[in-house]
Amino acid sequence: MVCEYCEEGGYGRLILEKVYWKIFLAPSHRYMGTCVIAIKRHCSNLSELKDVEWTEFSKIVKEMETVLDIIFKPTL
């Protein structure tokens, strides 16, 4: 099985890499700032994530929300 997140240049633009995750700027911008957070290992279900992966994911989401709020100043 080919994984578009594992292939070089396969999905959007890689903008950040953490220990367990890669963050891509999505190629389609239906919504401003659309990004994808992809685990670095093959994982079919969220229930397979380890505690350390969940912890890092949570930190990434919080960081991204803060940055996007600063950049785009959403009013919703």
Q: Over 21-58, what HEC string results?
A: EEEEECCCCCCCCCEEEEECCCCCCHHHCCHHHHHHHH
State pTM to two decimals: 0.83
Q: Is residue 32's pLDDT more than 70?
A: yes
What pLDDT is stored for residue 60 in this prediction? Answer: 98
Element (H, E) at 65: helix 51-72
Average pLDDT over residues 23-41: 88
What tokens were used for 38? 């992809």
Higher pLDDT, 37 or 10: 37
| The pLDDT of residue 58 | 98
